Amino acid sequence: MSFEKRNSSKDFMLPSLPTAKCSIPRAVTVEKRSHGSHRLSSPSPYKNLQSSVPISETHTKLKHLIPPYVSAKTWAVYNTITGQILFSQGAEERREIASLTKIMTCYLSLKLAEKYNLPLSKLVTVSTRASRITGTSANLQAGDELSIQDLIYGLMLPSGNDAAYALSEFFGTYLGGVKPVRAFVVEMNKMAEEIGLKNTKFRNPHGMSLRPNFSTAKDVCIMASHALIDKLFSEIVNTKEYICKISKENSREIVWKSTNKLLGKGVDGVKTGQTPRAGNCLCARFVYGKVPLIITVLACKTKNSRWVEVPRLAEWTYSKI
């Protein structure tokens, strides 16, 4: 694979070469494509190298630093111990994040339950409006009664937009104001500011594109790292299947399965996301190396490419650290 193909962004953070004598006299120029992405226009980044190091050795050193090709428009690899981005491409470029939004919805719900001394066993009644939210669903019906904890599982495993709306309605009433959902979203943005998400803006609790939420690969990594400190959050996002018993006139059980296909494969969370405008997104924590990594990819080419490309980035990063 050529250097041009594997570095499809102008801003991949390439570490300095180990020898001071090695330089590239002609800067690799960036050619902007019509659809907004970039590619490196130099056909051979090794051709014009002037160095005391043999060309073959220099080629090997450069190739060693090149990340594997991924189709994501932007991505970031985050060191959870140091709180630093290790490698990235467009890490601070704002994009829609779809259901990665629910990381904040879940985290804030847990924090508000703690703040207002609400037991997670407290029952919540699903409103008609919540039950009618389109998109990914936890299959809730108007009048369903289930606990806060059940709702959070319905939020994070099947990525239920209905569960997100029900949680925001419920906790929004404790935040004051005549519009509980709006009050909850305001609190989401306050929390984002508190934990240092500089390029994130929430407009809804579920991530649908009608009023889109924007963030960056870097911010999503930071958001996930804060949420994963919460023990229950970590347990929920690492759960493959959950059975919920719904209480109402016609009681029933619903089985929710996680949309994260990497669970148990060196990954213990965090969240998937997908809308036509946001593309296919994933935030995952890898724990099979010495350093836990959080990797976020935004706008992958296909739904299934995430399951291949994100582990590829993890494996490559572990080989460098």
pLDDT of residue 191: 98
Which CATH architecture does the domain made up of 71-319 adopt?
3-Layer(aba) Sandwich (3.40)
Alpha helices in 31-100 (DSSP H): 55-65
How far from chain centre, in Å, is Cα 98? 9
Sort strands 293-300 and 279-286 into parallel, antiparallel or unpaired. Answer: antiparallel
Model pLDDT, residue 321: 83
How would you label 14-33 residue by residue, b for 16+ Cβ within 10 Å and e otherwise?
A: eeebeeeebebeeeeeeeee
Q: How many other C-beta atoms lie within 10 A of the C-beta of residue 194?
A: 9
End-to-end CA distance of the chain: 23
Euclidean distance between CA atoms 10 and 163, whole angstroms: 39
Point out the residues that are catalytic. Answer: 99, 102, 159
Whole-Å CA distances, 243 to 153, 154, 215, 252, 297: 9, 10, 32, 10, 29
User: Which pTM does this prediction carry?
Assistant: 0.81
pLDDT, averaged per 10 consecutive residues of the chain (321 residues), comes to 39 42 35 38 33 40 73 97 96 97 98 98 96 96 95 98 98 91 97 97 94 96 98 98 86 95 97 96 94 97 95 95 83
Domain ranges of the chain: 71-319
